[in-house]
Structure 1
């Protein structure tokens, strides 16, 4: 499992060296775009709208747009300095709370925490403390130059760190448009709805839920492969525009042009005696 971050977890005076591993993966099927005519993959270029030409990475700077078409340009050196000042390499547990106190809307991404060299005992201590107390740790961490709020909890036998949104990153529910006000609910309708909920209530078993669309798409792709319904594209080198013209034509044109410009010799006048 690939390590995405190395550092430590700290709570009180306890410091645990750990490695961070991504706990989930995106299994979306990525489809490429091809040119319909020749089936060549389509590539995207970074083009300057002002100059109408492709821009290389070294010619791009970062900026913050504080109002329409007005920017504050930030140097890489300035950004790197801020990154170093804020990157502590430590998951500092600030508080311990109950998991049910955090609404799922705050959750963002999950990571497995594994003990690094010498951190096994302290890792086990924190895991046991969280299990016995029924609490989770609220922490702060800097990942890829972004400070994140996170929680540390037990998942099976492993400590998991889940990044969560800061409160100001969660939009206000009251701003959602067209939410109906509380109408008068007919008692019979509510009883029927509750009966349906009761009939569909079960124990959550994640294994029984599958991505039907992804499964069907993979089956379609495999069916087309077996039916030889595929296209191939040879590696084509870009053809450079040629400025070379036919040599003989150029020479002949030059000669013709020279002849036209060459002055016609005047006849000498006959001498009179």
Structure 2
């Protein structure tokens, strides 16, 4: 299992070197977007609307937009120093609380914790203490350049980190529109609803739940593949290039020769017209001279 973070978790004077691993994985079926006409994958490019050209990675900087089209630019050194300052701190458990005191709306993502070198005994100590007291630990930690509030608890004999949202990241329920106020529910209707809940109540078994849409989508893809309803993206046509300098010069010369006769003809016609217009004037001058 890939290690995505290494650090130390401490509570009191106990320090536990740990490694963190992703506990969940996204199994969404990813679909590509193709151009309907030629079945080629759509390419998204980073372009600057002012310079009207594609931008390379080394030309991009990060900034915070504090007002419309007004930014504070933060360079890599600023961010790296800030990140290192926070990342070097040990993950300290600051409080212990009961699991049921945290509403599920706060939970974000789960990570497994394994003991680092020499951390097995301290790891086992924390696990046993949490299990005996029925408590979970509340800690702060840095993950991918973001400070996270986290819960440390036990899941099937393994310590788990659950990142949770800070309070200001959970929106105010008062802003939810059209929520009905408390209303009087007829007792008969309420009793019927409670009876239905009782009939459907069971022990939670996660293995009985499956993503039926994902299964059906994968079956459809496999069926189309077996029926050879597939397509292959076309190669991008290579631009015609002159093989060498001599070819380029010859092509330029040929193009110039094709354009030259027309220009010569137009020049000749213009010269003849000028001569025709000038002839009477010359004759008049000769007559008056005599």
Structure 1 and Structure 2 fold alike (TM over 0.5) = yes
Deviation string 1:35-58 (CA, Å, 9 cap, x unpaired) is 111111111111222233211111
Give the 3-state SS of the residue equivalent to 2:199 in structure 1: helix
What is the aligned partner in structure 1 of residue 17 from structure 2? 17
Greater share of residues in helix: 2
Give the 3-state SS of the residue equivalent to 1:9 in structure 2: strand
In 1, Cα distance between the equivalents of 2:266 and 2:241? 29
Q: Is the 8 A contact 1:107 1:162 kept in 2?
A: yes
Q: Is the 8 A contact 1:6 1:89 kept in 2?
A: no
Give the 3-state SS of the residue equivalent to 1:7 in structure 2: strand
Deviation string 1:95-141 (CA, Å, 9 cap, x unpaired) is 11110010000000000000111111111111111111100010110
What is the aligned partner in structure 1 of residue 238 from structure 2? 239
What is the aligned partner in structure 2 of residue 140 from structure 1? 140
Q: Which has the larger radius of gyration?
A: 2
Question: What's the Cα RMSD here?
Answer: 2.2
Q: Which runs of 4+ in 1 moved over 4 A?
A: 241-247, 254-264
Q: Does 1:215 align with 2:221?
A: no
Provide TM-score, normalisation by structure 1: 0.90
Q: Does 1:88 align with 2:88?
A: yes
What is the aligned partner in structure 1 of residue 153 from structure 2? 153
Q: Which runs of 5+ in 2 are unaligned?
A: 243-247, 273-290
What is the aligned partner in structure 2 of residue 250 from structure 1? 256
In 1, Cα distance between the equivalents of 2:90 and 2:25? 24
Give the 3-state SS of the residue equivalent to 1:3 in structure 2: coil
In 1, Cα distance between the equivalents of 2:17 and 2:206? 32
Q: Cα gap change, 1:238/1:46 in structure 2, threshold over 3 Å: closer, same or farther?
A: farther
Deviation at 1:252, TM superposition (A): 4.2
Deviation string 1:42-98 (CA, Å, 9 cap, x unpaired) is 111112222332111111111111112221111221111111111125221111111
In 1, Cα distance between the equivalents of 2:195 and 2:241? 77
In 1, Cα distance between the equivalents of 2:214 and 2:263? 69
What is the aligned partner in structure 1 of residue 118 from structure 2? 118
What is the aligned partner in structure 1 of residue 107 from structure 2? 107
In 2, Cα distance between the equivalents of 1:227 and 1:122? 57
Q: Which segment is superposed worse, 251-260 or 59-68?
A: 251-260
Provide TM-score, normalisation by structure 2: 0.85
